[in-house]
Amino acid sequence: MKLLVCISNVPDTTSKINFTDDDTKFDTNGVQYVINPNDEFGLTRAMWFKEKQGATIHVITVGGATTEPTIRKALAIGADEAIRVNAEPTDGFFVAQQIAAVAKAGDYDLIIAGRESIDYNGGMVPGILATLLDFNFVNNCISLEIDGNTATAIREIDGGKEKLNTSLPLVIGSQKGLVAESDLKIPNMRGIMMARQKKLNVVEPVSATDTTKDVKFEKPAAKGQVKLIDADNIDELINLLHNEAKVI
């Protein structure tokens, strides 16, 4: 079985976010980048298929040379080969087109993409990718088993979970729950050293048109001041909730 895992290079959630050029561009200065958490769950599940079923894992990212440390981490975790499409990921449709072009030539059985990236939260890439490739698709996937050409998946839906049977080739949108957080892989020294020897292919992008454009960014409004009320002063609490906060 041949797997392709899509890796997004995203800011660490502890990074301080700023914007430049009149809030039209994201300021990358001082920002630490990591593997998108939803992709990390997918990569860990791919590693399970490698260990239990002998699957081959390729990882792919769309981005410039600055993304290579992130994709090298995926190699250190255990992926066999990496592909970097040498283009800035301007929007979800553009990214999906680039991945689809690589996937068509790679003859993959299963493509694992995070449900969404934690920076732009577009949630578009897995579904568009499945459409472009004419693969089956399961989004919000929290469980995946494969037996031969048959896949059994569980996905989250409003108010519950849904169990599906489908066939390969398949694209899934992975998320928290696909593996336990305690099972997430941390590269060890041996993996880091081996990653240096593994193949990282840089390919040029195919011609594609952006369908969206970022116009402006805006930070959430600052939190208002907090009023502390004595625990015994219930009347004052009710008065503030009713007349000031207007929530009762």
Residue 179 is predicted with a pLDDT of 95
Q: Are 3 and 57 in contact (CB under 8 A)?
A: yes
pLDDT for residue 13 is more than 90: no
Residue 190 is predicted with a pLDDT of 87
Q: Rounded distance, CA 36 to CA 248, Å?
A: 40
212's enclosing H/E stretch is none
Residue 140 is predicted with a pLDDT of 97
Query: Which structure tokens are listed for 58?
Result: 């390729």
Mean pLDDT of 56-64: 97
Residue 244 is predicted with a pLDDT of 86
pLDDT for residue 90 is more than 90: no
**Residue 125's pLDDT band (cuts 50, 70, 90):** very high
To the nearest whole number, what is the mean pLDDT of the chain?
A: 93
Residue 196 is predicted with a pLDDT of 87
Mean pLDDT of 207-227: 86
Q: What is the DSSP letter of 220?
A: P
Q: What is the CATH number of domain 2-216?
A: 3.40.50.620
**Residue 227's pLDDT band (cuts 50, 70, 90):** confident
Query: Which structure tokens are listed for 86?
Result: 């040498």
Most confident of 14-23, 113-122, 140-149: 140-149
**Residue 116's pLDDT band (cuts 50, 70, 90):** very high
Give start and end residues of each alpha helix (H) in the chain. 37-53, 68-77, 92-106, 125-133, 189-195, 234-243
Helices 68-77 and 37-53: angle between axes, nearest 10 degrees: 30
Amino acid at 112: I
Mean pLDDT of 33-45: 96
Residue 142 is predicted with a pLDDT of 97
Please state the domain extents for the chain.
Answer: 2-216
pLDDT (tens digit per residue) in 154-187: 999 999 999 999 999 999 999 999 999 999 988 8
Strand ranges in the chain using DSSP code E only, listed in sequence order: 2-6, 9-11, 19-20, 25-26, 33-35, 56-62, 81-85, 110-114, 136-147, 150-157, 160-167, 170-174, 199-203
**Residue 223's pLDDT band (cuts 50, 70, 90):** confident
Q: Are 201 and 81 in contact (CB under 8 A)?
A: yes
Q: Rounded distance, CA 122 to CA 4, Å?
A: 20
pLDDT for residue 214 is more than 90: no
Residue among 114, 111, 148, 154 at smallest CA distance from 133 = 111
Contacts of residue 81, Cβ cutoff 8 Å, sequence gap at least 6? 57, 58, 59, 75, 198, 199, 200, 201
Stated pTM of the model: 0.87
Mean pLDDT of 213-220: 89
